[in-house]
Structure 1
Amino acid sequence: MSYQALYRVWRPQNFIDVVGQEHVTKTLQNALLQQKISHAYLFSGPRGTGKTSAAKILAKAVNCEQAPTAEPCNQCAACRGITDGSIQDVIEIDAASNNGVDEIRDIRDKVKYAPSVAEYKVYIIDEVHMLSIGAFNALLKTLEEPPKHVIFILATTEPHKIPLTIISRCQRFDFKRITSQAIVGRMELIMKESGLEYEEKVLPIIARAAEGGMRDALSLLDQAVSYSGNMLTEEDALTVTGAVGQEMLNHLAEAVYEKNAPEALAVLEKLLLQGKDPSRFTEDFVLYFRDMLLYKTAPALEESLERVLIDDVFTSISQKMELEKIYEYIHVLNQTQQEMKFSNHARIYLEVALVKMCQTEASIKATNLPEMNVLLERIATLERELQQLRSQPAQPVAQVEAQSSSKRANRSSKAFKAPVAKIEKVLAGATKQDVQLIKSRWGDMLNYLHQRQMRSQAALLNDAEPVAASPDAFVLKFKYEIHCQMATENNVFIDSISSILQELTGNLYQPIGVPEDAWLSIRQNFIKTQKEDGYEQEEQPEEDLLISEALKLVGEELLEIKD
């Protein structure tokens, strides 16, 4: 093919042509002039920002016949040979397809041989993060101490995937995304040198769609030139990139400001019929309001605007629109973007967002009015209480302490009283099957409480356990009296335990709380009463006899019985 893509024709051949990476090119040029060339470099950054181009320029500069020089001459035999790939001393390796140990071992074996033509043998390993762990390990020693005639240049878009042992052996240069202004400047030069005609609004549209990559920008420009006729127009650029023209954005913004929802939806319908992507349109509209916000707050920073061109219509709309509305519009659109990512109905979300934007002021007032009234009432109440406190005479310190101590005494006197009658009724009808059934599902019941976001209530049951149960109720023993009081006074919590156990066991049990000390006393009294009344069973199972003997030996406080 005789035709070459623009990004190949206009690949940088000098450091000065590498756009937007002055922090990298300046450092490399100084190193070349001072003859402080490192044995290994790591170029990292987004795609299309000049990593491989800078690596080739560096390879030409160190081998140029006019070295030391800040720029390769591109005229000598070495520069021309490296440019057209005829010199075998500059080796480009694609690590994506040569990522095994054998390929790296081959490099390690050949690296000791001196270059055949040039002064330095340069290895450019692209997408180096694709190498396997074994390949990285094989590269380590060679990369740290290569022969004096060898330079390694590693390029990657994902430096976090490279082992730190490799990074520490290289000089690292981070390439950044190229600004839209720099991309536009480069494309203007290309269009001028190529003799192509274009409208002024075309290049910013393409530059913004490239998202900081020069190669992407030149590919889009190449596509737009092929699509257009003799003149590259704004409509051609919008069609190729899928972006929305500023005229339509102005029209839509004015409809939203005037709360004209039918007109806003009609504009959206027209854009979607033209094949515009809802997600891309939402992004354009967010950037439109972002630029409007910057224009209103800092008019001098016109170069920071990404999406709009300052025209009369945009200026008129921005003067009418308040900052609070712009904040609200950006918030609504950003939320819509997040919702679109997880839905197949992006259009519906966008239509809802436009209607919501047309009704923002009414919704804000409707939302804030009740809250404001409540807040004003609370402020008035606090002011009245404060006035009453100021009008009351100051009390002596001793009197205040006496009142506080009496209150504490009153609080402490309200000790928890265990429901003895209910507990004895449960013990009278207690069965081993019921208590075992509740204990077997107790863990499931606690998990159920956590799932219902009742973690604070479930925490009360950490030191609680069911100790006796009848067919319709069970005794829940708490280690601490305060936990027992808090749990039993919360009727909703008690009902929740009962309903959850009913779902898990199929039986309706009513929980009866009791502190541990009170439980031991009630249980001993109940057993004693049963013996006196002659209700002791004549025959006990062997297991119960063992337990009773153990209780006699060590006491009930030191014995824990588990089924």
Structure 2
Amino acid sequence: MAYQALYRKWRPRTFASVVGQADITNTLKNAIERGTISHAFLFAGPRGTGKTSCAKIFAKALNCNNLQAGEPCNECANCQAADQGALPDIIEIDAASNNGVDEIREIRDKVKYAPTQGKYKVYIIDEVHMLSMGAFNALLKTLEEPPEHVVFILATTEIQKVPATIISRTQRYNFKRLPATELVKQMTYILDQEKVSYDDQALAVIAQVADGGMRDALSILDQLLSYEKDSVNYQDALQITGFAAKEQIEQLLLALLDHDANQALTLAQDELQNGASSKNILDEIIDLATTALMVIKAGSDDQNTFMTTGFADQIKSVPVERYFQLIKAANTALNDLRYTNQQQIPLEVFIVESTNDTATSQAHHSQLQSADADLANEVTSLKNQVVKLADQVAQLSKKPAGKNNQIFHLDDGPSSSTKANEPVATKPKQKKRSVKNTQRINQRNREQVYQVLESATKTDLQAIKDVWPDLQSVLAVSQRALLDVLEPVAASPEQVVMKCKYTLWFEKASSDDDLLAKLTGEIAKFTQHDYEIVLVPDEDWLKVRQEFVQTHGKELLAKKRGSQDQATQQESDTGQEVIQKAKELFGDTVNVKD
């Protein structure tokens, strides 16, 4: 006979043999005994927890000819046919491969026929969440009101993908993950029946890897038996599952608790070289840290809990907050494993961060204390100001109102008691001071503007305008706004006059030497010439230029005329030289025409 896998060979045949789901199996047995059988059931839960097994047992019990306290007898013809998968009234459908509307319509057309051999026609639809939406809609009416002889059993591992309209038409049973103790107990029973020796530590490793699934546990156990038929030992279990030895994980945890990064990294690298995976190492650290935390809080010290002698005494002095930090950091590293192909990096980062937690937390704690102290000082200062303001208000309320009374104002605006015809002293003073500053700057810049206008040329001005757009690409974002409010209007070989659109920006730019130096330097880079910047407000530019023309216009015109007369004289002298030369060459026959 061909070899049969353990999970198939030891699949439960009665409700009593189902492991870890006693509440569900008892409910199903009572329903059979009392005859209160619903038309549709929904079994939901993680993989390998007994959903399909319970569905088969329940279907077999419904058609058993010799029920025994709600359990199938497994001896009648119907039970034996059901165990062999030959009972025509039990129809198993895999929704993963039969998820279309046509398959569901075929079921809907056949449910009207009576069972041929048993009492009920039972449809077991496995992985029902894989059905298409059209298939679910085709199933709705039949699922809600099937014939009396039809029972639907739906099984799924992803209940969230099943429409609510389907769930509301069924009795829902939630299968839970099996505890490690139940897994070890069942594996022990099977190995005893198979007459195979085993190590308890090996079974514990298998139970941890199985993560609550009996089918996974038996599959791993089957793999170990193929690796070594005579026994199931601890080292083989570590090799097959990729887990690290528990005693090594205990040493790794101690190194993390002692902030010994070198030792922790060395232990982790050794386990990785021995075949352990980063995920399993992190899982074991979380499991061990959680167990240690429970031991500390419960105060118990089971000799079989830890592998290392005296491990419990070494961990009892560690604060519980430290274990919380390690568990949280390890969970973060596990999440990071999903986004990288270099699986050892999140593990190593976790080890380094965990060994530096103390220094980091102390620095963070000191920062929080400093921030709290500053906040307390600020609150105290604000309280004192409120007290002073309250005293002033109380004093003012006692004085009679009069024209010469002094008026106090808060910073956010004038007092409501101020009359419309009473001027506010603060703002005019600020305005006068601002005007004086502007006038003083204007007077200083006016003289520089005159100097530029005396020797201004179109060539220099055009050179500045040509490089103006290029400055946008080199200035910082905060400095580019300056180019929007400045415009070059005149330039000499040494200086350039720029008018500023707004008075506020004119004052800011005039007093910001760093900003002007930056702009001057960039202009020099692009023009290959040094220019000094002279600023003038936009509203004053026309006035300054007009004043300059009135005061210096005659001088500039005289200079221009003098230069023109000089040029004319030079042209005349040049012409006489040409005529004289021509006469020397050709004689007096030369006729000169203008």
The whole-number CA distance in structure 2 between the counterparts of 1:393 and 1:132 is 73
**Unpaired segments ≥5 residues, structure 1:** 423-433, 442-447, 455-466, 477-483, 503-521, 527-563
Judge which range, 144-153 or 326-335, deviates more.
326-335
> 1:237, CA displacement in angstroms?
1.4
Pairs within 5 Å for 1:232-251:
232-251=232-251
> Equivalent residue for 1:136?
136
> 1:212, CA displacement in angstroms?
1.3
Tell me if structure 1 keeps the 8 A contact 2:247–2:307. no
> Equivalent residue for 1:207?
207
1:353 aligned onto 2:314? no
> Equivalent residue for 2:124?
124
- Report the 3-state secondary structure (helix = DSSP H, G, I; strand = E; otherwise coil) of the residue aligned with 1:154: strand
The whole-number CA distance in structure 1 between the counterparts of 2:208 and 2:232 is 17
The whole-number CA distance in structure 2 between the counterparts of 1:309 and 1:154 is 43
The letter for the 2-side match of 1:204 is A
> Equivalent residue for 1:529?
none
Distance 1:386 1:206, change over 3 A: same
> Equivalent residue for 2:107?
107
- Report the 3-state secondary structure (helix = DSSP H, G, I; strand = E; otherwise coil) of the residue aligned with 2:151: strand
Judge which range, 385-394 or 131-140, deviates more.
385-394
The letter for the 1-side match of 2:354 is M
The whole-number CA distance in structure 1 between the counterparts of 2:89 and 2:226 is 38
Greater Rg, structure 1 or structure 2? 2
The letter for the 2-side match of 1:115 is P
1:265 aligned onto 2:265? yes
Tell me if structure 1 keeps the 8 A contact 2:259–2:356. yes
The letter for the 1-side match of 2:284 is D
The whole-number CA distance in structure 2 between the counterparts of 1:71 and 1:48 is 22
The whole-number CA distance in structure 2 between the counterparts of 1:106 and 1:387 is 81
The whole-number CA distance in structure 1 between the counterparts of 2:431 and 2:179 is 73
> 1:14, CA displacement in angstroms?
1.3
The whole-number CA distance in structure 1 between the counterparts of 2:178 and 2:301 is 18
Tell me if structure 1 keeps the 8 A contact 2:197–2:230. yes
- Report the 3-state secondary structure (helix = DSSP H, G, I; strand = E; otherwise coil) of the residue aligned with 1:341: helix
- Report the 3-state secondary structure (helix = DSSP H, G, I; strand = E; otherwise coil) of the residue aligned with 2:185: helix
The letter for the 1-side match of 2:203 is L
> 1:117, CA displacement in angstroms?
0.5
Superposed CA deviations along residues 11-49 of structure 1, whole A, max 9, x for unmatched, are 111112222222322221221121110111111111111
Tell me if structure 1 keeps the 8 A contact 2:201–2:234. yes
> Equivalent residue for 2:450?
none
Judge which range, 275-284 or 109-118, deviates more.
275-284
> 1:391, CA displacement in angstroms?
12
The whole-number CA distance in structure 1 between the counterparts of 2:118 and 2:4 is 28
1:398 aligned onto 2:394? yes
> Equivalent residue for 2:188?
188
The whole-number CA distance in structure 2 between the counterparts of 1:411 and 1:217 is 84
The whole-number CA distance in structure 1 between the counterparts of 2:356 and 2:259 is 7
Superposed CA deviations along residues 216-268 of structure 1, whole A, max 9, x for unmatched, are 01111111222235331111211111111211112222333444433333222
The whole-number CA distance in structure 1 between the counterparts of 2:113 and 2:499 is 90
The letter for the 2-side match of 1:80 is Q
- Give TM-score, length-normalised by structure 2: 0.66
Superposed CA deviations along residues 385-406 of structure 1, whole A, max 9, x for unmatched, are 6998999998375237798645
> Equivalent residue for 1:378?
374
**Unpaired segments ≥5 residues, structure 2:** 398-405, 415-424, 442-464, 479-483, 489-497, 523-537, 542-594
Pairs within 5 Å for 1:6-405:
6-67=6-67, 69-299=69-299, 309=306, 312-369=309-366, 372=369, 374-375=370-371, 378=374, 381=377, 395=391, 397-399=393-395, 405=409
Distance 1:202 1:385, change over 3 A: same
Tell me if structure 1 keeps the 8 A contact 2:238–2:245. yes
The whole-number CA distance in structure 2 between the counterparts of 1:165 and 1:366 is 55
Distance 1:181 1:473, change over 3 A: farther
The whole-number CA distance in structure 1 between the counterparts of 2:426 and 2:9 is 88
> 1:343, CA displacement in angstroms?
2.5
The whole-number CA distance in structure 1 between the counterparts of 2:379 and 2:485 is 54
Distance 1:84 1:412, change over 3 A: farther
The whole-number CA distance in structure 1 between the counterparts of 2:257 and 2:332 is 19
The whole-number CA distance in structure 2 between the counterparts of 1:164 and 1:380 is 55
Distance 1:136 1:320, change over 3 A: same
- Report the 3-state secondary structure (helix = DSSP H, G, I; strand = E; otherwise coil) of the residue aligned with 1:112: coil
Judge which range, 19-28 or 331-340, deviates more.
331-340
- Give TM-score, length-normalised by structure 1: 0.69
How much identity, in percent, do the aligned residues show?
40
The whole-number CA distance in structure 2 between the counterparts of 1:235 and 1:376 is 55
The whole-number CA distance in structure 1 between the counterparts of 2:84 and 2:284 is 41
> 1:323, CA displacement in angstroms?
2.3
The whole-number CA distance in structure 1 between the counterparts of 2:128 and 2:354 is 47
The whole-number CA distance in structure 2 between the counterparts of 1:297 and 1:404 is 64
